Structure formats: structure tokens, C-alpha cells
Copies of this chain bind each other. A is one copy, B any other.
Amino acid sequence: MPRSPEQAYAELTQRLKTTALLESCSSVLGWDEQTYMPPGGAGHRANQLSLLAGMCHERATAPETGDLIAEVEGTHLAADKDSPVAANIREARRDFDRATKLPRRLVEELSHTCTLSQQAWITARKQSNFKQFQPWLEKIVGLKREEAQCIGYGSGVPYDALLDAFEPGMTAADVTRLFTPLRDELVKLIAAIRDSGRQPNREIITRLFPTAAQREFSIAAARQIGFNFDEGRLDTAPHPFCSGFGPGDTRLTTRYDEHHFPGAFFGTLHEAGHGMYEQGLDHEAYGLPTGAACSLGIHESQSRMWENFVGRGRPFWKFFYPKLQQAFPEALGKSSVEDFYGAINDVQPSFIRVEADEATYNLHILLRFDLERPLIAGDLKPADVPGVWNETFTKYFGIVPPDDARGCLQDIHWSGGMIGYFPTYALGNMYAAQFFDCASHELGDLPGAFSRGEFGALKQWLNEKIHRHGRRFRAQKLVEVVTGQALSPQPLVKHLHQKFDELYHL
């Protein structure tokens, strides 16, 4: 008796769910590595994570999984292409094909190398010593080039194979097509701001903001916008991130600087945006494509929407500023909300991507995109990264990084093997603008709601329009389904102009 398609599909989903469950164990170990693990634990952790990566890879590439997918493809289950079941079959195929192209040896070696490399990066960044990190970057670039060869790329651009891991279906050419008009607009806008002669006083946000109070205030704000702390937490990590362990457990991290309020606060809102996406996924579909995030760009659209479109807006601070003054009476007791609003939206060239303003931020991404492609093509040697970084940075920003900690060592991504990831940040800004524009039309007076501390309508809209679908639609399709338009840089440009034309009297 051959299996029915329904039986095969049930068996397939069971396999996928178990693999996801095993993968989620790695998430816990990865989170601990970044938050609490003592330095001496790095070697053993690398062994643990590499074993789990190998086991997950083995499960993901098991011939039985391929057989099951083949059995349900082309049946009535996959007939309605937009149905959740068809999406699960389509994406299971995509994941299986991608995974089977990678030998287990490479998966384990990447996992092992990246775990150790992240520890080396932490030390190198602390000491601003690129030479210490260089051999690790060389190893990782070598392994990622090998990965690209294994995956293959019809386009002739090896980078596409890596980008596709984070933003399925998108190519370097697509990114370039979106980034080029964005860059032109940004360069004009930033020049206009520079020439406006206006300069908010940043001093207000560099006063003393004690860490404990920052933490408390950040948690209160994350809770208010809708992150559920019964199903999540906020901890400290050298590079902030969000990790969804699975249903009911989503971890946020941030880092504190007593003399820079926005770092931890907007970092927390940002990660809470990621976290609310994770918390908004369909828990019943956990382990299946329809229960997982659509793409990193879509993920980033959620974080940057809450961080920037909500968190750096006037209505948000109309509600929160009096509470902020209560939390930091010495720093802010005598300062106006307008001064504060100006300071958190001050547009000017700066070294650290995660602390950049909304306008210049995207240039930080363009810079990384400019370096990653030749690194993977073999046209840029890891040893030359600091030089090329500083040169390109100076070209874009007109200032020179004083050291590598504030230059090419600032991000965790390369040490973690995440090459091809950066473009998703700027894509996320574009998605966010387009989604927010649409939500504003559909939901009516969002500024009014925000100024009363009411964020539920937007959260629910995101839950329904985006989170609940998981990977049912690819990112490009999702944007069209939700907004009726293809992805474009225009909503982002419009948003930036609306905000900064007013603030800088352009």
C-alpha cells in the first residue's frame, strides 16, 4: 500500500518539526555564548554547536525528506499555490535543495570556525586589533567562497548564492537596482541637511544615564509597544541581537553606555520589533515554513519600523518623554522634548552603524555591500579590508575611522559567517517604509494613538498582515500582497524627507 499524499505530508511535517526543534537547541547555546558563557567555555561550545549543526544538517538532507517532498509535489495538496500547505511544500523543497548541496564536513567546519571566531572577534574588537582577527576572517571568507561554489549561482555572481540564504530569491543585481536610486537621494538629502546650518545639540543624550535605569526604562517601553515579557527577556550582549528559541521564548539583547542613551534604548526597541515578529508567528505551524520568518529583510522591516518609524517619532515621545524625565531627572529634568527629539534625530556622519541616524544608516550598509561582493569574488583580500573600509568610509562620510574597533571590526556578522546579510538591513528599511505607509492609510490616526501610548492597532495589523503568514509568500510577493505595490525605495525616501525637511527647515 503506497502512502497517500496526506500521509506523506503528515510525515514530512513531523520531520521538519523535529529538525526545527533540534535547531532551536543550537539557538539556546548560541544565545548563551553571546550573553553569559565564560571565556574558557568557547572551545567546548564550538564542539557542541558543531555537533548539533552536523546533526541538523544530516536530518535536513536525509534522503527520506527528499522522498517525502517529491511524493507531495505535484499532488492536489500543492495545487493552490498560495495555500499554506503548498507554501510548506515549496519552501521545504527550497531548503532541502540548498542543504543537500552542502557537505556535512563544510557545515560542521563553518559552525566550529564561527563559534571560535566570534570569541576572537570579541577580543580583537576590544583591543581594536584587526591583525588578531585577520586569520579568522581569512578562514571564514574561504569557507563562504566554498559554500557559494557548492550552492551554485546561475547569475555568474558567487555572492548571490550567499545573499539568497538571507533574502531568498534576491540577487546582488536586484539590490544594486534598489540601492542606486536610494544612494542618490540620500547623498542629496544628507548634503542638504549639512548645508542647512542647523545642528541639534547632541549633548542632551550624552549626559549621565545610569545603566540600571536605562534597562528598566527600555523594558517598560518594549512592554508598552507589545513585546511579551512572559515569553521573552532582555539581556546584555556585546553585539545586540534577537533570538527566537521557539513558541513562548524569545530573547532580546542590548548593550549599555551610561553616556549614550539612544544606543541601548533604540537597540531594545529594534530587537523588540524582531521579537514581536517571532512572538507573532503561527505557533501551531512551528517548525514549518509557514511558522517561520519570511526573510531577514522582512524581519528587519519589523525591527526598524518600531525603532525608527515609531520610536524616533514625535508622537512616541509625546507619550514617553515625561516618563523619561521621571526616570532620569538629573539628565533631563530641565530639557524640552523638542531638544530631545532633535538630538535623537540628528543627522551626521558617524562611525558605528548601529548608532547611526535613519538617513546615514543606509550608507553604512552600502559600504559593507561594496566590500562583501569583492571579498567573495576573490577580488579583495581579507588583509586589505581595513584599508579599503577606511577609504570607502571616507568617500561616503567624509570622516576617517580612528581605529578598527570603530571601523571594520565593529560588527559581529563576518566573524559569525554572516556574509550576504548586511543588504537585508537597508532592504528592511525600504520594506518598513512601505508597510508603515500602508498601515497609516489603513489604520487612520496612528500618530494620535502613539501619543496616547497605544500601539496595539499597529501591532495587530503587523500580526495579521505579515507575522501570521510566515514564509507563505516570498518577501517580494508579500510586499505586493500587503501593499499592492512592488518594493521601491520611494516610500523610504518620502519618509526621510517628511521627517528631515521639517526638522532641518529644508
Does A202 interact with chain B (Cβ within 8 Å)?
no
- Contact of A245 with B18 in the complex, beta carbons under 8 Å: no
- Contact of B21 with A51 in the complex, beta carbons under 8 Å: yes
CA distance A39 to B228 in the complex (A): 11
CA distance A223 to B302 in the complex (A): 44
Neighbouring B residues of A247 by C-beta, 8 Å: 43-44
- Bitwise, A26-45 to B at CB < 8 A (1) or not (0) is 00110010001111111111
- Contact of B245 with A51 in the complex, beta carbons under 8 Å: no
Interface window among A125-133, A230-238, A348-356, A443-451: A230-238
- Contact of A52 with B37 in the complex, beta carbons under 8 Å: no
- Contact of A44 with B29 in the complex, beta carbons under 8 Å: no
- Contact of A48 with B28 in the complex, beta carbons under 8 Å: yes
- Contact of B29 with A25 in the complex, beta carbons under 8 Å: yes
Does A153 interact with chain B (Cβ within 8 Å)?
no
Known A18-B51, A235-B36; judge A245-B24 contact (CB<8 A). Answer: no
Q: Nearest-CB distance from A193 to chain B (Å)?
A: 42
Neighbouring B residues of A233 by C-beta, 8 Å: 36, 38
Q: Nearest-CB distance from A230 to chain B (Å)?
A: 5
Q: Nearest-CB distance from A116 to chain B (Å)?
A: 12
Find the B residue at minimum CB distance from A249: B41
- Contact of B51 with A22 in the complex, beta carbons under 8 Å: yes
Find the B residue at minimum CB distance from A33: B28
Known A229-B38, A230-B38, A232-B38; judge A245-B44 contact (CB<8 A). Answer: yes
Q: Nearest-CB distance from A360 to chain B (Å)?
A: 35
Does A248 interact with chain B (Cβ within 8 Å)?
yes
Neighbouring B residues of A24 by C-beta, 8 Å: 44, 48
- Contact of A47 with B32 in the complex, beta carbons under 8 Å: no
Neighbouring B residues of A231 by C-beta, 8 Å: 38-41
| Chain A residues within 8 Å of chain B by Cβ, number | 35
Q: Nearest-CB distance from A252 to chain B (Å)?
A: 11
Does A168 interact with chain B (Cβ within 8 Å)?
no
For window 239-284 of A, CB contacts with B under 8 Å fall at 245-249
CA distance A380 to B330 in the complex (A): 63
- Contact of A228 with B44 in the complex, beta carbons under 8 Å: no
Q: Nearest-CB distance from A211 to chain B (Å)?
A: 13
CA distance A51 to B24 in the complex (A): 11
Find the B residue at minimum CB distance from A233: B38
Find the B residue at minimum CB distance from A26: B25
CA distance A25 to B23 in the complex (A): 12
- Bitwise, A43-68 to B at CB < 8 A (1) or not (0) is 11101100110010000000000000
Neighbouring B residues of A44 by C-beta, 8 Å: 24, 245-249
Q: Nearest-CB distance from A238 to chain B (Å)?
A: 16
Q: Which 6 A-B pairs have the closest CB atoms?
A: A41-B249, A40-B231, A40-B248, A44-B246, A40-B230, A41-B248
27 intermolecular pairs with C-beta atoms under 8 Å apart: A18-B51, A21-B51, A25-B25, A25-B29, A25-B48, A25-B51, A25-B52, A28-B29, A28-B32, A32-B32, A36-B36, A38-B229, A38-B231, A38-B232, A38-B249, A39-B230, A40-B228, A40-B232, A40-B248, A41-B245, A41-B246, A43-B247, A43-B248, A44-B245, A44-B246, A48-B246, A55-B55
What is the interface of chain A, defined by CB distance below 8 A to chain B? Answer: 18, 21-22, 24-25, 28-29, 32, 36-45, 47-48, 51-52, 55, 228-233, 235, 245-249
List 8 other contacts, CB 8 Å, given A28-B32, A41-B249, A47-B246.
A18-B51, A22-B51, A24-B44, A25-B29, A28-B29, A38-B231, A41-B231, A45-B249
